[in-house]
Chain A
Amino acid sequence: MEQTPLAGIGRLASSRQLHIALATAVFLIYPFLVSDYFIDIAFYFGIYTLLGLSLNIVLGEVGLFDLGHAGFYAIGAYTTAILNTKFGIPILVLLPLSALAAALFAYVVCSPVIHLQGDYLLIVTLGMGEIVRLALINNPFDLTGGPNGVYGIDFPSLGPWLVIDSSLEYYFLIWLIVGLTILGLTKLQDSRIGRAWNYIREDETAANANGIDSRSYKLLAFVMGAALAGVAGNVYASKLMCVSPESFTFWESCLMFCIVLIGGMGSIPGVIIGAAFIGLFPEIFRPFAMYRMLIFGSAMMLMMMFRPGGVWPRKRGAVKYESLLGGTGRTDA
């Protein structure tokens, strides 16, 4: 029967809000119930979620194969490490700066190759990620410390009042960033820009023919993805207090790729699940550590066979839209 136009959206939104409230509550209470070790695990879960979200923009929303994302992560981490240890710039000031550095790097490196399609782009980004890592090992201008990396990175602090130096505080820092990122990306998904990204993923020629400048939107995705990875690099560097090239190997890029594929391309809840799988399971099943790759590989194969869309694919058309033009309630037929 006839229902008020907004009732459908209202109900769905409220059940969604309930889920979000529950999840937030769990995240707030959790660290007070467990030991520092499990708080740290949740911290790395947060880092992987942020990395997953950043790659999800490029791979999930626009469908661009990027197997060099660890390169942007490294740029963020090393920007923080070098500027902090050499010039003593506070970590929190370096947070936006690292994002900016990674974004700038992405812009410069991706501009000439952004027109490449599919596998070709994959190869180029793979190479880019490796070049970044090798450059770090080679210690250019005596900045990166070669294979040993950079040591003695500060805690994030805001004057004397706020010093983030315990596991608990790092936990809240990373999840606050993740929360804000999710908020922003959700808004973006349901906007002209998010849709444009999806149009390009679905059919680039048709997107162009509908007035979408695919080149700029693809670049924007890379720049935004790199900026977020740079943020993750900043937090990671200060948490570990040191950075070294072996944290940014091709394997890290693979893990991020898996997070997005397992979760579901373009799905934010999916990324969180994927990050949980990648970040948490190896820790929880530590006794089986030597079989980790085996379990991993089989899980990926089973996923591709039985649930190619990911664990939690983005549902389209779930929110029912009612008429804005004030129809009379009859169908249009």
Chain B
Amino acid sequence: MPEPRPHAAGETVLETLGLTKIFGGLIAVNSIDLKVHKGEILSLIGPNGAGKTTVFNVVTGIYRPEFGNVFFRGERITGKKPHQIVSHGIARTFQNIRLFPDMTCRENVMAGRHCRSTSGLFSSIFRTPRQRAEENLIREAAEKRLRQVNLWRSRDELAKNIAYGSQRMLEIARALASEPELLVLDEPSSGLNPRETRDLMAFLQGIIREEDLTILLIEHDMNMVMGISDWVVVMDGGRKIAEGIPEDIYADQRVIEAYLGKEDEDSTAYDVPAQH
């Protein structure tokens, strides 16, 4: 039934099979199958409470699914801890920005390098040559990412003191610093003005061209979804109700009923976070 997808030729980076997450009596995610191919931008959309963020939280290890599996590059990563999943190559951002507010922008981005470095307690105290070399690599990588998001001049500012739009970009820079293969963005455009959203789209399209990257995103802004996605998956009530290229999704009657029909409401509204 679905159209052949533009990037279907690429290998599968992320695959979920029958992913199910239950909170008490609520089936937040009901048997979701997802396939994300290398080099594509896949958008996950759906009305509030559809279970999109829960899917993200299961993929990135914050929740353990009741049923089903997550495969990353063919390897089963179901139930691994968040910090292990980052070192596999999946980096994420949060719907409500989660930076380290009282640390500098530079230190924030350096966090992304943590999983790619190994210095231990004693080498850090005694400053071994290897540790120094590694610190330099961390700083270089942080500088590269800060420049990439145009925040190099704010490097010594505390993260809580920079503008909201910059905080979003800083969070993306931090995720990119871990050199991920899959970047998972939870509503990156929420709270951004139309200009910032356009810049963000251009930025994402830029990095996907230049780097060996795949992007999975949740998005409410329909202009953005239609503008940059290669493939769109629609969720409602925990189920996948449709998928396809953006043009088809835009015209799909089920999607319009479930989601687009209600789209005139506040597009920056947050999901109600699923609770235990």
Contacts and interface: CB of A to CB of B under 8 A. Distances in A.
Interface of A: 184, 187-188, 191-196, 198-199, 202-203, 205-214, 220, 224, 316-317, 320-321, 323-325, 327, 331-333
Contacts, number: 135
Contacts of A327: 147, 152
A331 B102 contact: no
Given A187-B125, A333-B153, A203 B99 contact: yes
A191 B124 contact: yes
A198 B100 contact: yes
Contact of B124 (A193, A203, A320): A193
A209 B115 contact: no
Name the residue among B82, B87, B138 with the largest chain A CB count within 10 angstroms: B82
Interface stretch (B103-111, B192-200, B223-231): B103-111
Contact of B98 (A187, A203, A213): A203
Nearest to B121: A193
A196 B138 CA distance: 13
Contacts of A320: 156
B36 to A, nearest CB: 18
A332 B147 contact: yes
A210 B115 contact: yes
Contacts of A324: 136, 139-140, 143
Nearest to A266: B102
A267 to B, nearest CB: 12
Contacts of A325: 140, 143-144, 147
B145 to A, nearest CB: 11
Contacts of A220: 121
Given A211-B87, A324-B136, A332-B150, 14 more contacts: A187-B126, A191-B135, A195-B103, A202-B101, A202-B102, A206-B99, A209-B98, A210-B114, A210-B178, A211-B114, A211-B115, A212-B114, A325-B147, A332-B151
Contact of A212 (B111, B126, B135): B111
B253 interface: no
Q: Is the interface of B mostly helix, strand, loop or mixed?
A: helix
Nearest to B161: A317
B100 A316 contact: no
B64 interface: no
Contacts of A208: 62, 81-83
Nearest to A207: B111
A188 B136 contact: no
A134 to B, nearest CB: 33
B138 A192 contact: yes
28 contacts: A184-B125, A187-B124, A188-B121, A188-B124, A191-B119, A191-B131, A192-B114, A192-B117, A192-B124, A192-B134, A192-B135, A193-B120, A193-B121, A195-B114, A198-B103, A199-B103, A202-B100, A205-B98, A206-B111, A207-B111, A208-B82, A209-B91, A211-B87, A212-B115, A316-B104, A321-B139, A327-B147, A332-B152
Given A203-B99, A210-B86, A212-B83, A195 B111 contact: yes
Contacts of A194: 124
A115 B249 CA distance: 44
B60 interface: yes
Given A187-B125, A203-B99, A325-B140, A213 B135 contact: no
A203 B127 CA distance: 27
Contact of A210 (B104, B111, B117, B146): B111
Given A208-B83, A213-B83, A321 B100 contact: no
B266 to A, nearest CB: 25
Contacts of B83: 208-214
B153 A203 contact: no
Given A187-B125, A199-B100, A205 B62 contact: yes
Given A206-B94, A211-B86, A316-B104, A193 B111 contact: no
Contacts of A317: 104, 106, 156-158
A195 B110 contact: yes
Contacts of A213: 81, 83
Contact of A196 (B82, B114, B157, B178): B114
Contacts of B174: 210
B39 interface: no
4 tightest A-B contacts by CB? A211-B115, A317-B156, A202-B100, A191-B124
A211 B135 contact: no
Interface in B64-95: 81-83, 86-87, 91-92, 94
A226 to B, nearest CB: 14
Contacts of B140: 324-325
Contact of B112 (A210, A331, A333): A210
B83 to A, nearest CB: 5
Contact of A331 (B98, B124, B143, B153): B153
B7 interface: no
A55 B151 CA distance: 35
B121 A331 contact: no
A209 B111 CA distance: 10
Nearest to B137: A324
B35 interface: no
